[in-house]
């Protein structure tokens, strides 16, 4: 089942995107896999998608400023992920782009002030839990070796 859709606008030649306002971590995982999002090594696979999606419990579609991101990418770049919102974490003070650096760089190149993203907000409790989970996984790995 698709949880989003790409729809052709009847008023313009540009595509308009309809995405749900909130995704759970499981829905985000499916969104990444269904969208065919890519990184420098190619299409994100199941482990990549799960690693990104499970970082927070909830992803909200929201608009953030482009100004915190200093990189620029030629806006004529042929980016197959362009219709999809970047995936960004916010820890209360800093943004971390998990997917979509080129899309944000292209928005910067076009002079846009804001961009729509799926934003996951990491609070202190989640940070501690994520660190504990990573430590547990490392301990388990060491025990297996």
Q: Tens digit of pLDDT for each residue in 11-62?
A: 333 345 689 999 999 999 999 888 888 777 788 889 989 998 999 999 999 9
* Per-residue pLDDT band at 129 (split at 50, 70, 90): low
Q: Which stretch of 15-19, 76-80, 113-117 has the lowest confidence by average pLDDT? A: 15-19
pLDDT of res. 37: 83
The full DSSP string for 93-133 is: S-EEEEE-HHHHHHHHHTT-SEEEEEEEEPPHHHHHHHHHH
Q: Give the pLDDT of residue 140.
A: 75
What pTM does this model have? 0.72
> Which residues face 62 on adjacent strands?
117
How confident is the prediction for the chain on average, in pLDDT? 81
Quick check: helix, strand or coil at residue 64? strand
Cα angle value 64/68/73 (rounded, 5°): 95
């Amino acid at each position: 089942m698709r949880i989003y859709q790409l729809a052709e606008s009847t008023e313009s030649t540009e595509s308009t995107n309809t995405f749900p306002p909130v995704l759970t971590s499981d829905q985000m995982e499916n969104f990444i896999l269904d969208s065919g999002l890519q990184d420098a090594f190619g299409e994100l696979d199941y482990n990549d998608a799960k690693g990104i999606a499970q970082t927070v419990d909830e992803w909200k579609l929201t608009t953030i400023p482009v100004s915190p991101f200093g990189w620029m990418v030629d806006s004529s770049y042929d980016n197959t992920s362009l219709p999809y919102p970047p995936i960004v974490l916010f820890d209360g003070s800093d943004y971390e782009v998990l997917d979509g650096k080129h899309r944000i760089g292209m928005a910067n190149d076009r002079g846009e002030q804001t961009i729509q993203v799926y934003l996951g907000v990491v609070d202190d409790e989640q940070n501690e839990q994520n660190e504990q989970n990573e430590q547990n996984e490392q301990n388990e790995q060491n025990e297996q070796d």
